[in-house]
Amino acid sequence: MRHQLRHLIKPHTHEAADRVDTALESSARGMRALWVSLAALGGTALAQAGIVLVSGSVALLGDTVHNSADALTAVPLGIAFVLGRRAATRRFTYGYGRAEDLAGVVVLLTIAASAAFTAWSAVDRLLDPRDLHHVPAVAAAAVLGFLGNEWVARYRIRVGRDIGSAALVADGLHARTDGFTSLAVLLGAGGAALGWQLADPLVGLAITGAILLVLRDAAREVLRRLMDAVDPALVDAAERALADVEGVQGVGELRLRWIGHRLRAEVAVVVDAELTVREAHRVAVGAEHALLHAVPKLAAALVHADPTVAEGEGDPHLALAHHAAA
């Protein structure tokens, strides 16, 4: 009844074409988020680079490099979103959605490279201290960097969560850390204004530490996706939805996995052994329908109907497993 009421309010089907349209819409939103953030961060990095040239601030240099790297991560993510639109083939039967996870790995490598460069620049300046020039301009560039990065971070994280893209969320977290590291540049500028030469490179080292922290968080997000991890709450929601389906007497094996920013499900439901094939198929279709409603970002569900096992009968799955082993 709940699903029927939803159909009255927002009618739709579960045909393959509708699922493809939804995936294309998600990819389009992801692409738009990438290009908008590329323009915003690119402009911020260019403005900061000009101030780096006249001020010689190593902390601002690290922030500028980090912002530039963050802007350039739009390239591999954009390629992944374009690949994800391609139809499945006989070789890539699930399509190309996992390219998005590979792009997440590229993002991680980019974050690590920017951390290494920032650390090297800071250590070099500690060994060879220099005066910082145009301190007010450095402070203004730091504030600009924070505002640009925070806006981009909010935008990327919101779109990434809406479309289910772990790579885009990781990129948004990266931008958020860039914003706080931009504020750290203010400390270096303040120390330089007070005549403390080492303030700027020390802030550069602190920025390196912040980059490593966001690298840890982003790596956890991306690597979990590579290992087919899902939020257990999604599994709970799927089980509850299946339990409410008429004709489903139990839920057996249930698997969910991300392919790009869409989910796929595989599940075995237990039905009355006396049902005809047509009736069991009707129950399986109802189970699929319930899953597509209950689990966000679910693009497809494969439902297998298992008959109830009478007392004294063996489990058909175990019988098949023993036969395969033999």
> Would the pTM of this model clear 0.75, i.e. be above it?
no
Q: What's the CATH number for 9-226?
A: 1.20.1510.10
Architecture of domain 232-325: 2-Layer Sandwich (3.30)
Nearest to 3 by CA among 263, 289, 280, 283: 289
- pLDDT tens digits for range 131-165: 666 778 888 888 888 888 888 888 888 888 887 77
Report the pLDDT value the prediction gives residue 312, as an integer from 0 to 100.
52
Under DSSP, the state recorded for 260 is T
Minimum mean pLDDT range among 95-99, 182-186, 252-256, 285-289: 182-186
Neighbours of 106 (CB within 10 A): 18
CA angle 255–320–279, rounded 5-degree value: 65
Q: Where are the domains of the chain?
A: 9-226, 232-325
